Structure 1
């Protein structure tokens, strides 16, 4: 009896807690990485590599001209807008309205917490470090806050990764989950790269924004998993294996 009980406990822990433990370990590693990066930036140890990367993205004969065709520069401006206040606010309001109409109020509150918390953390970190913007090249976008960490990169990570995680948790199909998470990651990467390409951030600003924004999104994702197990967030649809789906299709059963 004790063996069966211990085996059942181990199975439960393995099924429900392993993912949470891994998430927390990754979260701690990310926070440690951010602290180390911030320390290197504060001591000026990253200045050389920051400058080399920034200059590598510019025409050496005209530093006001980013490398590549004109359409690439315009595309980067479009991407950078995806991490701006206007787009993030509109997307958050739209997603909040959808979740509210769907009756997913706890998921809505989780999203609002992720976005608002990300904004507050970004402002506090910028105020704390007060790093000057790059002055090597002309800026390709208007700036009005300090440089470290990149607010666009951080908010893109916090917003898009959180939305991607929430959408993934609402679906059982692995390919659908992967689609949402990969799409959110690509958007986050595109926003961050555009900030360096346009000369408004040092590369380490963007790396720091990705790191802390990703940590915040991961924390929200971990909370979402916990709440879903409790039933406070609507569970995903029951998983249907490919074999079951093929059998259902062959028998004409609507799944």
Structure 2
């Protein structure tokens, strides 16, 4: 293949990636904006009350549907979106990249996740939505409800970490596994918050929306920096090492 053909192919791929990135981010932010407007106006969506009640026993709303082990599994899943676990995961991902001598990429991952966590805290303060009182909570909570910190932070940490790890992996199979595993974890953690009665469904959807938009945008910025050799990619070179 000629150099011109190769350049044209990469240009088309870049254009497609930009369009897909913009589409995902736009849809995610539009979804968040719609839900946020309802929250500000104090109009809970009908699905909030309906879904929370569907996950509880009709005779006793304090009891969740399904066997006892399923409720315990939801408690275990929700712990994967807590601050302690997410901090540990971020540390491990950063340490792994540093061990592979991808220092600039490790710094980018850590800074992206930390900035996202700060955004989560600011949004909670700004909206200050009370926790749902439709059903009894099955775990202790203390912060504001909107957006779901577990849903938003898990999307940021797992999806951003997986996407940026994948950007430095030559194997397509490994990249697909990393992204797929992160997506499954994010969805399970978000659902667990609804199941446990500590979040409205719209809290979780809003958290997913911002978290996914953040992860996609971070991946896109990382790809641009990797093409410019500002941070390491598959080849592991940066501006300082590339010649």
Note the alpha carbon deviations across 1:40-84, whole angstroms, 9 max, x for none.
Answer: 232344432200000000001111111111111110011000110
* Distance change in 2, residues 1:115/1:12 (3 Å): closer
Helix, strand or coil: the match of 2:61?
A: strand
1:1-255 maps to which residues of 2 (within 5 A)? 11-236=9-234
24-33 or 186-195: bigger deviation: 24-33
Task: Give the TM-score normalised by the residue count of structure 2.
Answer: 0.89
Note the alpha carbon deviations across 1:171-221, whole angstroms, 9 max, x for none.
Answer: 233222111111000000000000000000000000000000111111110
Note the alpha carbon deviations across 1:91-116, whole angstroms, 9 max, x for none.
Answer: 11122222222211121112112221
Mapped to 1, the partners of 2:63 and 2:3 lie a distance apart of 68
Shift, 1:10, TM fit: 5.2
Mapped to 2, the partners of 1:11 and 1:136 lie a distance apart of 54
- In our comparison, the structure showing a higher alpha carbon Rg is 1
Task: Give the TM-score normalised by the residue count of structure 1.
Answer: 0.85
Where structure 1 has 5 or more consecutive residues not aligned to the other structure, the ranges are: 238-255
Mapped to 1, the partners of 2:19 and 2:71 lie a distance apart of 42
Helix, strand or coil: the match of 2:62?
A: strand
Mapped to 2, the partners of 1:99 and 1:168 lie a distance apart of 11
Mapped to 2, the partners of 1:110 and 1:80 lie a distance apart of 27
Helix, strand or coil: the match of 2:170?
A: coil
Mapped to 2, the partners of 1:150 and 1:125 lie a distance apart of 10
Given that residues 38 and 45 in structure 2 are in contact (C-alpha distance below 8 angstroms), is that contact kept between their aligned partners in structure 1? no
Mapped to 1, the partners of 2:5 and 2:91 lie a distance apart of 46
130-139 or 38-47: bigger deviation: 38-47
Mapped to 2, the partners of 1:105 and 1:6 lie a distance apart of 33
138-147 or 21-30: bigger deviation: 21-30
Where structure 2 has 5 or more consecutive residues not aligned to the other structure, the ranges are: 236-243
In structure 1, the residue matched to 2:241 is none
Query: What root-mean-square deviation, in Å, do the aligned CA atoms of Structure 1 and Structure 2 show?
Result: 2.0
Shift, 1:6, TM fit: 9.5
188-197 or 117-126: bigger deviation: 117-126
Helix, strand or coil: the match of 2:63?
A: strand
Given that residues 123 and 146 in structure 2 are in contact (C-alpha distance below 8 angstroms), is that contact kept between their aligned partners in structure 1? yes
154-163 or 105-114: bigger deviation: 105-114
